[in-house]
Amino acid sequence: MTSMRKMSKGRRGFLRAAAATLALSGLPFAARAAAAQKLKIGIVGSGQVGGALGRVWANAGHTVMFSSLDLEKDKALATSVGPNARAGTPREAAAFGEVVLVSVPYHALPSVGKDVGALLKGKVVIDTCNPFPGRDGEIGVWAREKGAGLASAELLPGARIVRAFNAVGYMRMAEASKAERRYGMPIASDDSKAVAIASGLIREIGYEPVLIGPLVKGKYLVPGTPLAGERSPDEIRKIAATLN
């Protein structure tokens, strides 16, 4: 009975998330952009992906705090980005952000959960982390078997997770807003309000968000799956419809 209630709750959450995404996609892009709220965004893991995304968001008018295990590197990154960027520790970034991007090697995600997990509860967390068994060891094997979306939710309990930016190169993300063609960005989440907020940020990077399902579908948002790479929104929807 408990399992059935959880499945029903997850389905209701996905349907609300899908409705939110459809409502947003029905608005003209200019109207969506004009209505976008300027946010405080914490970056936990300011490597290639976190650095690229944070730079675009800061240039779009959000206030971004970069963090990693190297504060001096983050200070230099923030200086290079400009007045909308700053640097701090991972705890400071997690506390600072209304939205938090977590972009670390998957073997580091349990430590992130222990160190800053309490600060992420109730917040929208964009999860870019990919498990690779060869690099991440047992935690990578476990996350692949469980599914990356559900695994991240277990490691960051209480966070409103949207899985995104998982199978596109960071250099493409950095330039996507300047491209003539607008590709889709597959995402997975159980939280409709989190989807709406993350969708606005994804559009500012230069992609059209495509909700493929609840977090259980996050297992497909890793490199090497049919959804990897840049595809049109329609192509993503067609592929997602074939996945269990």
* CATH number for 123: 3.40.50.720
With a CB cutoff of 8 Å and minimum separation 6, the contacts of 147 are 215, 216, 217, 218, 219
Compute CA distances 40 → 7, 36, 89, whole Å.
33, 13, 15
Host domain of residue 232: 2-240
- Comparing C-alpha atoms, which of 216, 222, 232 is closest to residue 153? 216
Could you give the dihedral angle defined by the CA atoms of residues 59, 61, 62 and 66, in that order, rounded to the nearest 10 degrees?
A: 30
Q: What is the pLDDT of residues 83-110, one digit of tens each?
A: 999 999 999 999 999 999 999 999 999 9
* Stretch 47-61: mean pLDDT: 97
Q: Give the per-residue pLDDT at 199.
A: 97
Report the predicted TM-score, pTM, of the whole model to 2 decimal places: 0.85
Structural domains of the chain, count: 1
